[in-house]
């Protein structure tokens, strides 16, 4: 026996051979995700197989079941028209519930397992064609007692309890199991009724974490939504529809808000609708905010071929919405143009961040047929005069800061001044964010306390692979960060599933900083920008300095490689990055420049 793809189905769990079936799981994982499983995941699988062998039940068990959007359910049992999902945890250390979305295990932030299992159950009940009704449970391997505050789900305390729950499902049903295994993406009537009740609240939840103020559509946005709604109505009536919209909008024009509204309109009509992203930080934050509807938000590019705009995607979709589509590669665009019946691409080519991103107007029009272009012209969140000034600044035009703009723009001479300002704004109740140029340190998700994860402080490390290489940036040496931040170093935000959603949901902070990837698509009332030594002012023009760049995303097409091979292209990408970072603050932007000459230029313009 072998499996080509996940999940692994164990028809008779009591006959498990732990090592053999562990190998099957490894094989299925590699074939499904095109990468090797981490050692801790393999240990978890081994414990799961041992648990099932001891469980002594006749019900088939389904392990590592892939769900829409890239998640996987640990363990599923199905009987006649119903089933259960069990989320298994082997956490060591004290567990403290922070809120309904996050828990702290030791010193590490994790997703609340109650939220996790509810998310899986919602995907199966609302977006799966099986028609089976699922319930969810959390089980701790190490026999944790009921954790205080973990009361939003059912927690299984023992093997005996799990055995009784499984047996309580009744006899196994091969037909129901087949429905699960052959299930496809589907919009249930139950979900339609839920959106009809909660649509406004759902969009409000999403905009609360994305935007600095409430939501509301402008006239131009409403007209665009109305036009696409009419096309969806034709599709729902069975008319043969094939439409592609290419919608350009600059920073603050409301692209993401309109995309969310269109998502709801599609789902309300029971049209199979997907909202696609590449940015995993934005995607995970939106999924959490949209709760039951989160299953319709999916990656369009995954790296292992199963994104909505990749070859191996196997779901039938009618209405596709792509936000941040400027980040698409040409092959993503080609595949997306052939998929579904109505396609909407939102893009801003001023926000392309990497050399491998090819979502330009030229490419969309070259690949697509009958593409209808629209534009979101008004900037309804940021001040238009400020956005134009930023464009002029990055274009090399030394234009004085506009006196009539509503945005407060302040260039500070030292980092602690900026941090104090942000801290005061946070204490006043404002949503804040700290964003740094992707320079000096690369980040280290595996070792959060590593010097390669330090962005502000001393020392900062450029590399921690074979040999630690320390950055020559020493301006933070001796700086008293602790009196402002509470600690002597500020680390990168790294974990896209936990740290970023928690950061934006709680209104930001100054104890961690985001890269440009972590702020694209988000905004705050006040933003602090650490302008790095990658884009510096020399001889009356902007110059690319590749040496401090530590962004290796994209391999041979990373910014670090591009800056050494093609400085003209790197210059445009860096302008785009600073455009993104400088336009995240709605009420105010504070800038600290790590390069002295660049700082003098900025101060001279304000």
pLDDT at position 227, please? Answer: 95
Direct distance between the N- and C-terminal alpha carbons of the chain, in angstroms, rounded to an integer? 70
Q: What pLDDT was estimated at residue 163?
A: 94
Taking the C-alpha atoms of residue 39 and residue 45, their distance in angstroms, rounded to an integer, is 10
| Mean per-residue pLDDT, 156-177 | 92
Decide: 64 and 25 in contact? Cβ < 8 Å.
yes
Alpha-carbon span 581 to 258, nearest angstrom: 22
With both helix axes pointing from N to C terminus, report the angle between 189-210 and 280-290 in degrees, rounded to the nearest 10: 120
Residue 286 near residue 383, CB atoms below 8 Å:
no
Supply the pLDDT for residue 196: 81
pLDDT at 600 over 90: yes
pLDDT-derived band at 521 (thresholds 50, 70, 90) equals confident
Angstrom distance (rounded) from CA 95 to CA 109: 10
Model confidence at 256, pLDDT cuts 50, 70, 90, reads confident
Half-sphere exposure of 280 (CA within 13 A, CB side): 13
Tell me which of 306 and 364 has the higher pLDDT. 364
Can you tell me the mean pLDDT for 36-56?
92
What is the arithmetic mean of pLDDT over 517-542? 94
Q: Which residue has the higher pLDDT, 483 or 523?
A: 483
What's residue 379's pLDDT?
62
What's the confidence (pLDDT) of residue 377? 77
**pLDDT tens digits for 504-513?**
988 999 999 9
389-403 pLDDT, tens digit per residue, is: 999 999 999 889 988
Of the two residues 209 and 364, the one the predictor is more confident about is: 364
Placement of tokens 């593409």 in the chain:
371
DSSP string across 583-596: TSEEEEEEEEESSH
pLDDT attached to residue 146: 57
pLDDT for 458 = 95
* Residue 290 reports pLDDT greater than 90: no
* Residues 544-553 pLDDT 10s: 999 999 999 9
What is the pLDDT at residue 382?
A: 62
pLDDT > 70? residue 145: no
Beta bridge partners of 248: 347, 375
Q: Is 175 a residue whose pLDDT tops 90?
A: yes
Residues 456 and 476: beta-carbon distance below 8 Å = yes
Separation of CA 520 from chain center? 10
- Contact call for residues 49 and 18 (beta carbons, < 8 A): yes
Closest CA to 100 of 281, 291, 296, 284: 291
- pLDDT higher than 60, residue 168: yes
Q: Quote the percentage of the chain above a pLDDT of 90.
A: 69
pLDDT tens column, 291-314: 889 999 999 998 888 899 999 998
For residue 323, pLDDT beyond 60: yes
Q: What is the structure's pLDDT at 197?
A: 85
Contacts of 460 (CB under 8 A, 6+ apart): 440, 441, 451, 454, 470, 471, 473, 476
Cα 268 from chain centroid (whole Å): 24
What confidence tier does 480 reach under pLDDT thresholds 50, 70, 90?
very high
Q: Output the six-digit token pair for 517.
A: 């990837």
Q: Is the confidence at residue 534, as pLDDT, over 70? A: yes
> In 10 A of CB 148, how many CB atoms?
9
pLDDT greater than 70 at residue 381: no
Higher pLDDT, 143 or 312: 312
In whole angstroms, give the CA distance from residue 471 to residue 464.
11
Strand ranges in 35-117 using DSSP code E only, listed in sequence order = 61-66, 72-78, 82-89, 95-97, 102-105, 108-111
Q: pLDDT band for position 34 (50/70/90)?
A: confident
3-state secondary structure (DSSP) of residue 168: helix
pLDDT (0 to 100) of residue 109: 87
Q: What does the pLDDT look like over 82-124, one tens digit per residue? A: 999 999 998 877 888 988 888 988 888 888 999 899 989 999 9
b or e along 477-490 (b: 16 or more beta carbons within 10 Å of the residue's beta carbon)? eebebeebbeeebb
- Mean confidence (pLDDT) of the chain: 91
What is the pLDDT, as a whole number, of residue 100? 82
Mean pLDDT of 216-230: 84
Distance separating alpha carbons of residues 431 and 523, to the nearest angstrom: 9
Q: Which residue is associated with the tokens 């602690």?
A: 416
Of 221, 512, 199, nearest in space to 376 by CA: 221
Averaged pLDDT, 40-52 = 93
Contact (Cβ atoms closer than 8 angstroms) between residue 523 and residue 211: yes
Give the pLDDT score at 191.
80
Looking at residue 142, its pLDDT comes to: 65
Percentage with pLDDT > 70 across the chain: 96
């Amino acid at each position: 026996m072998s499996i080509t793809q996940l999940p692994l189905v164990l028809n008779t769990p009591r006959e498990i051979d732990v090592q053999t079936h562990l190998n099957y799981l490894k094989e299925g994982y590699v074939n499904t995700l095109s990468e090797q499983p981490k050692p801790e995941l393999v240990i978890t699988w081994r414990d799961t197989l041992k648990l099932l062998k001891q469980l002594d039940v006749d019900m088939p068990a389904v392990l590592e079941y892939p769900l829409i959007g890239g998640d996987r359910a640990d363990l599923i049992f199905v009987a006649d028209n119903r089933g259960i999902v069990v989320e298994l945890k082997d956490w060591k250390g004290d567990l403290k519930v922070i809120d309904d979305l996050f828990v702290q295990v030791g010193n590490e932030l994790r997703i609340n397992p109650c939220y996790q299992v509810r998310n899986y159950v919602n995907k199966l009940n609302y977006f799966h064609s099986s028609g089976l009704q699922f319930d969810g449970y959390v089980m701790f391997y190490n026999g944790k007692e009921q954790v205080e505050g973990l009361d939003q789900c059912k927690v299984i305390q023992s093997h005996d309890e799990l055995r009784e729950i499984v047996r309580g499902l009744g006899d196994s049903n091969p037909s129901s199991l087949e429905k699960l295994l052959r299930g496809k993406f589907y919009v249930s009537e139950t979900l339609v009724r839920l959106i009809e009740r909660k649509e406004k609240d759902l969009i409000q939840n999403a905009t609360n974490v994305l935007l600095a103020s409430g939501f509301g559509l402008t006239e131009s946005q409403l007209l665009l939504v109305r036009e696409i709604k009419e096309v969806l109505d034709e599709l729902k009536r069975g008319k043969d529809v094939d439409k592609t919209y290419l919608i350009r909008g600059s920073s603050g024009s409301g692209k993401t808000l309109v995309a969310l509204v269109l998502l709801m309109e599609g789902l309300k009509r029971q049209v199979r609708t997907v909202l696609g992203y590449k940015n995993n930080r934005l995607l995970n934050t939106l999924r959490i905010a949209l709760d039951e509807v989160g299953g319709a938000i999916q990656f369009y590019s995954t790296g292992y071929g199963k994104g909505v705009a990749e070859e191996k995607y196997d779901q039938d979709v009618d209405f596709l919405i792509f936000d941040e589509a400027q980040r698409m590669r040409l092959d993503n665009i080609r595949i997306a143009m052939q998929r579904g019946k109505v396609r909407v691409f939102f893009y801003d080519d001023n926000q392309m961040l990497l050399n491998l991103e090819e979502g330009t107007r030229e490419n969309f029009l070259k690949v697509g047929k009958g593409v209808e272009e629209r534009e979101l012209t008004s900037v309804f969140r940021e001040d238009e005069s400020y956005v134009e000034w930023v464009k002029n600044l990055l274009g090399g035009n030394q234009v004085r800061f506009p006196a009539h703009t509503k945005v407060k723009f302040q260039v500070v001479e030292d980092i602690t001044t900026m941090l104090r300002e942000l801290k005061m704004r946070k204490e006043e109740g404002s949503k804040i964010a700290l964003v740094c140029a992707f320079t000096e340190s690369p980040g280290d998700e595996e070792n959060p306390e590593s010097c390669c994860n330090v962005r502000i402080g001393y020392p900062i490390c450029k590399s921690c692979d074979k040999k630690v290489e320390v950055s020559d940036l020493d301006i933070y040496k001796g700086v008293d960060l602790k009196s402002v931040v509470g600690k002597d170093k500020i680390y990168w935000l790294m974990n896209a599933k936990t740290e970023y959603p928690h950061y934006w949901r709680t209104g930001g902070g100054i104890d961690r900083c985001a890269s440009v990837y972590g702020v694209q698509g988000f905004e705050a009332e006040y933003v602090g920008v650490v302008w790095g030594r990658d884009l510096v002012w020399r001889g009356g023009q902007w110059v690319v300095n590749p040496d401090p760049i530590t962004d290796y995303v994209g391999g041979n097409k990373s910014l670090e490689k591009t800056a050494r091979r093609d400085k003209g292209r790197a210059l445009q990408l860096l302008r785009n990055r600073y455009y993104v970072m400088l336009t995240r603050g709605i009420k105010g932007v504070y800038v600290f420049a790590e390069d002295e000459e660049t700082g003098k230029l900025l101060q001279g313009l304000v």
